[in-house]
Structure 1
Amino acid sequence: MKRIFQIGCSLFLIGTLPLAGAEKGSAPASATGLDFFEAKIRPVLVAHCYQCHSVDAGKSKGNLLLDSREAIRAGGDSGPAIVPGDPDASLLLRAISHVDPDLKMPPKTDRLPESVINDIKSWIQAGAADPREKGTVNAIRPPVDLESGRRFWSFRKPDDHQPPASKNPGWARRNLDHFILAQLGSHGLVPREDAEPATLLRRLHFDLVGLPPTPETVHHFLESIHTDGIETALAAEVDSLLASKQYGERWGRHWLDVARFAESSGKEANISFPYAWRYRDYVIDAVNADLPFDRFLVEQIAGDLLPADSDVERARLLIATGYLAVGTKNLDESNKVQFAADLVDEQIDALTRGVMANSVACARCHDHKLDPFSMEDYYALAGIFASTKTYFGTAISPSNQVGGDPLVLPRGAGQPILHASITPEKVASLKQELATLKKEKVTTLSDALRIFWRSGGIEGELEKVDDKGQALPLAMGATDRETIGDKPLLERGEIGRPGKPVPRGFPRVVAIADAGSISSHQSGRLELARWLTHPDHPLTARVMTNRVWRHLFGVGIVSSVDNFGFSGQRPSHPELLDHLAVRLVADGWSVKKLVREIVLSRTYRQASTYDEKSFEADPENRLLWRSAKRRLDAEVIRDAMLLVSGELDTSRRVGSLVGKEIGDRPISLIGLDNRLPADLDASKHRSVYLPVLRDRLPDVLDLFDFAEPSLVTGDRETTNVPLQALYLMNSPFMEARAKALADRLMGEAGDDESRIRRAFLHCYSRIPTDDEMLMATSFLTRGKQLAGDDEKLRRQVLAICCQALLSTAEFRNLD
């Protein structure tokens, strides 16, 4: 009977539940772009392949070159090395997988890590995007010298352009509107009408706090418009949303995407990070407090080097440096020098891509192939981070070859502690066992491994407590090393081929006269942070402004939000971008003020209605002649369901499932732990507090295009695949939310029509049309007839109807 109800209810709303398909085994969306190639593919080819298969090396074993797009696709004596879109036909993948004894690459080393093989497979499957030019390892354009690089639009300091004159100045409400009108007018276009008030309110709530407005909020807003006018009502609503704690949870998540926040190391070992949640909470609090963006960056890059007047402030600043620690780490790497080099590389990539929308890390093995960054620029930064100690708090074990000390916070800060204390006797016993192990004679490899693993495990236990066994407040983060020094340039990025040391410094394409020099007594992170946030820096304010714009309009003024380099897209409204970036700095780097300015504009207020003439002239809506319809983010879809069902717990979850239950264990063991829900989603708190484990996300986040936590992500992909529809129709999570919404409606007085009306108000911020009301009430009437006097079945009829409402495209899309 339940299945009949599901089919029937799906039919009356199936038109709003698209089921567009995807190819079997489709690649991750993140693998489709050039950023993925530069971050994941090119370094592997350089490190493991070019010495035998490149023009520079003068070798082409088997007549195979791998240093250009055409060469790798043409292949050698055995055929094409890769066939875009077809991993099974790609000999490169077969060779590095070591599945054929006669075709093993690299030939004199062990098989490449599984994560590398999977990356190459995903890259091939996604079409093998590759910017390299034929016959050479050089870029798709000649090398760029510093002077020509400084003339490129994004490396020039922003100018404060004044709003241009437009043909309809009365339409504009903010300065930015004039820039939009001028561009539209130059193409013979006009903006669309304003969105309906309830539609605009729903857009505002989802954009600013990630939750739908309640029916009561909709009613109050409409009354305010009637009483005070749209401008006053809108400003009051915006100010209220910006002041709410939900704002930080929504916009903090945006920065966590950029910060590649996760609670596990990723790669082969994939060990949990039990203290990562403190950085998550720091970000949310900083965004709610509207911490100036320049200070926000300085704290994350060099908070440990800033003064603090209390234990609370010192702990906060130490936690902020978790930004440098939460990235991916190959904890299965037994070579400490290689691990350290890879850690520095990941930090350089995350920082430069996240703040500057340029990856200096692409210059690790060679001068940047696309942008004006040299190997000297890379190793100048590498010296800064090599002089930094990173704390990530994982103990050595059979699954983890690299121990990462935790960062101890001041007890006076009152930070919550999730792990347990132990007795002083236990402390003494562990210390004695550790001392005995260190004296034990090693005669076999198995002895050495046993002592190594056991010693690391004991040290990990002792690091969590003080000498009396009391649990310590621990975090991820960074501090300066005792030994400060420059880093040698590594030929081809190989640790065994060091050259001359490169003085610590900053990328030279950005020349700031009073940036200051790096102290010989500190790593240089503080000077780097101040260089990045200098008012004359051409990128930092622009990049952040563009990120804000993207979250409010669906597309950035520069659509390649993480790439402001030569291979990135050019801004659709360059003068507007500069104007807003200059204003961001002038307003004390207040992101809230920037958000407020944008959402109170007439441009943001437009309806999404179609216009044939405008569409033919600008099908991608880059000129913003209307508002674009957008799919909600994964966590917003989940949170909205919990809110409308009356179940959302809006309090902050203390800690994380990782910190409380999983600890610093391999993610592969999660499925064997009966304490953990299969989908990692037993919480009723907001989705920002769900565990973010690399390669093991909660189902609802994974299915609806959550940010890839191993990469800087300023622009999430949006897919529409059958698995999403199946989840909405069949998952226990969905069934539970539908039942809760039905119970909520049953608890409210009224008949079926009033319940349907309330359900539509909760889900869509509108009342149903006559046709929708007829279909819904007809379904309920027929379902109750079939259920008879069985009260449980009668409630189930309403629950299935609620599930259909929650599954519609209208629910998970923003107009």
Structure 2
Amino acid sequence: MRGLSTHFFVHAFACFCLLGNGNGEKASDHWAFQAVADPELPRVMDQTWIRNGIDSFILAKLERKGIPTPDRAIKSILERRLSFTLLGLPPSMLDPKDSLLEQLEELLASPHYGERWGRHWLDVVRYADSNGLDENAAHANAWRYRDYVVRSFNEDKPFDRFITEQVAGDLIPWNDDFSVRRSNLVATGFLSLGPKLLAEPDPVKLEMDMIDEQIDVIGRAFLGLTLGCARCHDHFFDPVSTEEYYALAGIFKSTRTMESFKRPAKWVENLLANSEEQQLSKKHQDLVEAQNAVVVAYRERANQELLASGKFNKLPKKPEAHYPEPTRKILENLEKTLKHFNGSSPQLDFAMGVQEGNVTELHVFVGGDPETRGEIQPRGFPAMFAAYEATNFHSGGSGRLELAAWLNSSRNPLTARVIVNRVWRWHFGRGIVETTDNFGLLGGKPTHPEMLDWLASRFIEEGWSIKALHRLILSSETWRMSSGPHSIASEKDPDNRLFSRSPVRRLEAELIRDSLLHLSGELDLALGGSTWSHENRKLVFNHTSEDNTNYVTNRRSIYLPVIRNNVYDLFQLFDFPNPNSMCGDRTPTTTPQQALYLMNSPLVRQAALGFSQKGFGSDPKVRIQLLYNSAFHRDAEPHEIRQSLRFLESFSSKSEPSDKWHAFAQSLICSNEFLYLE
């Protein structure tokens, strides 16, 4: 059927497969569609364990289950947990004399905090430096959006403002401060980053697929809802009708994401220059053209003079070499001047993003087919919430500003709950709602619904501040729990759904790589910018061309290019998310290939070599302690020192001393204690 895409069939198949799993609950009664409450804190027996409201909610459930009050982890473990959680780096910059709360503030103030937490958000918005799909063209300016995200987290930009900038940044007044305008234009890259079938011959199909992808990422990222399921039929489970889908789609039909639909189609790039910069660039170009005209005119005059001298031999390709000396020098000086002006031309910056288009109200495409049209649907939002109020759209606008206001409304019960749950999941490895991207009827129910609402209420009260939410979570006794097993907790809470202990989690792919470079002393902590030079919109990789992407850099992993269809090998091995779709919940795997990589990878071996140089020339016991402390943030126990010495002594006397220390350093890197957080 014309107009139906692979993206559409994925939605349809997912909905079909889940059709038999309904529980009969009415959509109007679903917990996630009710207003956010502000519940009272529950009473608990062990008041000595309570540091804030989080602890009251957690301990109340543990006590009802007969699970003892959890133990606290030791400070060195908490310091390592805190540093990797907030910065994604080992805790080398922490002063052990400082309290945990003092260390918390130091880490939140670090510019590397935004790199760690910005990467979480890049998972959600399917960030990539190339298009993927049929035309894997370079997103050479996508890095500006990535840097915008990092800055936003560092600045603790209110999350409601963060949403508005990404959905409608180009429409926000900027009061003559062009730096604000520039940042807001870059923010709209959120809507443009998705994969597109650039070689699709049917422009209507291409545009509707793109709009569907935009609706899908907005629905799941901000609302935790699979809105795309309503493209061809009413949503099987959630209260979203096909009419409401096309009312929402009209907003994005009225938005210009593509510059051209001529194959291969081109996405919009917003100019990031103010009027003065644009005028300067134009004047410079006019000057270059004028200088070029002078050179051409002088050459023509010189050629005429040569012909007039009576020499009729054919002129060579570079006749100026045969000009009289004064003429040649004048031409050389003119061409040097022209070359200088060409080389010093101001480079105007561009960024992926969107613009306002022609306001359009869409017909319903029956069954998702653009050729089978139903009634026109005025632009609007799903009326799934009891507090929904009809919105009057600005007559000349797409409706994206109104959409952002609807998403951020205090009457919207989903937005604050969804982001609070995401932050909790990134701290604890599991959300209060386990299905972080699905709060609909087929999603999981919250294990602690009152705590989720209490946190969402505090989040809104604190001005939608992510850092304030960190302070609340990380100052709780719940976050400070030990990960050690407890027989009663293991029996009554085997899956840790009640958060009876701290989870043991493997470091993400980026943290493994950054830690390796950090241990070797080679990590480059420079902030921002691009590490990838590729011409914008040119193919970077497909099945008929070689991928020349260069990953050889010591910059942090967030700055490595993310190439769709060909993700960096370390990232692929250690569960980096598929950049073709949004992901709020990375799923860890354990495979033999991961162990082989740690044993044989040139990156790991080089890092181990640099790491092994620590304490060179010192007493072996002192050197072992130094390596243990660097790798694990703790001292080696006496039995570990003995085992380490035996390992070193097992090498042949003919071996180079550096070889055994290299092997020892790599053995620490390959250990679970290095790769996992307690």
Map of 2:45 onto structure 1: 167
Superposition pairs of residues 522-537 of structure 1, within 5 angstroms: 522-537=397-412
Q: Unaligned 5+ residue runs, structure 2?
A: 279-283, 294-341
Q: Distance in 2 between matches of 1:719 and 1:280?
A: 27
TM-score, with structure 2 as normaliser:
0.86
The residue aligned with 2:569 is 699
Residue 719 in structure 1 maps to residue 582 in structure 2: no
Is the contact made by 2:428 and 2:502 (CA closer than 8 Å) also made in structure 1?
yes
Q: Conserved in 2, the CA contact under 8 Å of 1:358 and 1:564?
A: yes
Shift in alpha-carbon separation, 1:662–1:68, aligned structure 2, 3 A:
closer
1: CA distance, partners of 2:469 / 2:205: 42
* 1:167-186 superposed matches below 5 A: 167-186=45-64
- Matched position secondary structure for 1:725: helix
Partner of 1:298: 164
2:559 partner letter: Y
What is the alpha-carbon root mean square deviation over aligned residues? 2.9
User: Does 1:329 find its partner at 2:189?
Assistant: no
* Distance of 1:639 and 1:45 partners within structure 2: 36
Q: Distance in 2 between matches of 1:244 and 1:414?
A: 33
Measured after TM superposition, the shift of residue 151 of structure 1 is 2.1
Candidates 502, 506, 510, aligned match of 2:377: 502
CA–CA distance in structure 1, aligned partners of residues 599 and 645 of structure 2: 20
Q: Which residue of 1 aligns with 2:317?
A: none
Equivalents in 2 of 1:168, 1:509: separation in Å? 41
- The answer to whether the 8 Å contact 1:192/1:608 transfers is no
Which digits, 9 at most, give the CA deviation of each residue in 1:152-192, with x for residues without a partner?
10001110011111011111111110011111111111232
Q: What SS does the corresponding residue of 1:667 show, helix, strand or coil?
A: coil
- 2:515 matched to 1:640? yes
Match of 2:273 among 405, 410, 420: 410
In 2: Cα distance, 1:408 partner to 1:239 partner: 37
Deviation digits for residues 746-771 of structure 1, max 9, x if unmatched? 2xx52222111111111111122223
Q: Deviations over 1:358-416 (max 9, x none)?
A: 01111001111121111011101100000001158x997xxx6212232111257999x
CA distance in 2, matches of 1:553, 1:403: 41
Q: Is the 8 A contact 1:344 1:385 kept in 2?
A: yes
Whether 1:738 and 2:613 are equivalent positions in the alignment is: no
The answer as to whether partners of 1:311 and 1:412 remain within 8 angstroms in 2 is no
Is 1:253 aligned to residue 119 of structure 2? Answer: yes
- Counterpart CA distance in 2 for 1:630 and 1:671 is 39
Q: What displacement does 1:777 show?
A: 2.0
Within 5 A, what are the aligned runs for 1:765-804?
765-783=633-651, 785-787=653-655, 793-804=656-667
Equivalence for 2:174: 308
Structure 2 letter corresponding to 1:596? R
Contact 1:301 1:324 in 2 (8 A): yes
Cα distance in 1 between the residues matched to 2:290 and 2:530: 26
Structure 1 pair 395–768 and aligned structure 2 pair: CA distance change class (3 A): farther
Query: Out of 97, 109, 131, which is 1:265 matched to?
Result: 131
Shift of 1:536: 1.5
SS in 2 for 1:475: strand
2:436/2:585 contact within 8 Å kept: yes
TM-superposed CA distance for 1:617, in Å, is 1.0
Residues 354 and 67 of structure 1: is their aligned pair in 2 closer, same or farther, counting only changes over 3 Å? closer
Q: Distance in 2 between matches of 1:562 and 1:427?
A: 59
1:132 maps to 2:31: no
Quick check: 1:515–1:531 contact (8 Å CA) kept in 2?
no
Q: Note closer, same or farther for the CA distance 1:724–1:380 as it changes in structure 2 (3 Å cut).
A: same
SS at match of 1:661: coil
Residues 50, 477 of structure 2: 8 Å contact kept: yes
Matched with 1:92 is none
Q: Distance in 1 between matches of 2:410 and 2:479?
A: 28
C-alpha deviation, 1:802, in angstroms: 1.1
Partner of 1:709: 579
Deviation at 1:425? Answer: 6.1
For 1:752, the equivalent position in structure 2 comes to 620
Q: TM-score, normalised by structure 1?
A: 0.72
Match of 1:387 in 2: 254
Q: Of the candidates 346, 350, 354, which is equivalent to residue 478 of structure 1? A: 354
1:701-743 alpha-carbon deviations (Å, 9 max, x no partner)? 1110012212221110100001111111111111111111123
Percent identity over the alignment is 39
- CA distance in 2 between counterparts of 1:236 and 1:343 reads 46
Q: Which residue of 2 aligns with 1:620?
A: 495
Matched residue type, 1:288 = N
By how many angstroms is 1:669 displaced? 6.0
Contact 1:667 1:696 in 2 (8 A): no
* Residues in 2 aligned to 1:726 and 1:413: alpha-carbon distance in whole angstroms: 56
Match for 1:351 among 180, 205, 218?
218
Higher relative contact order (CA 8 A, sep 6+): 2
1:594-615 residue CA offsets vs partner (Å, 9 max, x unmatched): 0110011001101011112211
- Separation of aligned partners in 2, 1:767 and 1:40: 55
From 553, 557, 563, give the equivalent of 1:683: 553
1:238 aligns with 2:104: yes
Change (3 A) 1:598 1:44: closer
> What amino acid is the match of 2:658?
R
> Paired residues, what number?
620
Deviations 1:308-340 (A, max 9, x none): 131211110000000000011111211111111
Contact 1:264 1:694 in 2 (8 A): yes
> Is 1:631–1:813's contact at 8 Å kept on the other side of the alignment?
yes
Residues 312 and 413, structure 1, Cα contact 8 Å, conserved in 2: no
Cα pair 2:575 2:587 within 8 Å, conserved: yes
> CA 1:414–1:806 in structure 2 vs 1: closer, same or farther (change >3 Å)?
farther
1:117 aligns with none
Write the distance in 2 (CA, Å) between the matches of 1:325 and 1:277: 13
Q: Which of 209, 212, 215 is the aligned partner of 2:90?
A: 212
| 2:672 counterpart residue number | 809
Contact 2:72 2:482 in 1 (8 A): yes
**Contact 2:614/2:623 (<8 A) preserved:** no
**C-alpha distance in 2 between matches for 1:772 and 1:365:** 63
Aligned CA distance change for structure 1 residues 428 and 665 (closer, same or farther; 3 Å): farther
Larger Rg: 2
Partner of 1:8: none
Matched with 1:43 is 9
For residue 667 of structure 1, what is the aligned residue in structure 2?
540
Residue aligning to 1:543: 418
Give 1:683 deviation, angstroms: 1.2
The CA deviation at 1:803 is 1.3
Separation in 2, partners of 1:794, 1:295: 57
Report Cα offsets for 1:529-573 as digits up to 9, x if no partner: 000001111000000000010011110000110010111110000
The equivalent of 1:493 in structure 2 is 368
Shift in CA distance, 478/368, structure 1 to aligned 2, threshold 3 Å? same
Letter of the 1:409 counterpart: L
Q: In the aligned structure 1, how far is the partner of 2:526 from the partner of 2:639?
A: 39
Does the 8 A contact of 1:191 with 1:624 survive in 2? no
For residues 208-259 of structure 1, the C-alpha deviation after alignment (integer angstroms, 9 at most, x for no partner) is 1111112x73xx32x34xxxxxxxx111110111111111000111111111
How has the CA–CA distance of structure 1 residues 44 and 169 changed in structure 2, closer, same or farther, with 3 Å as cutoff? closer
SS state of the match for residue 766, structure 1? coil
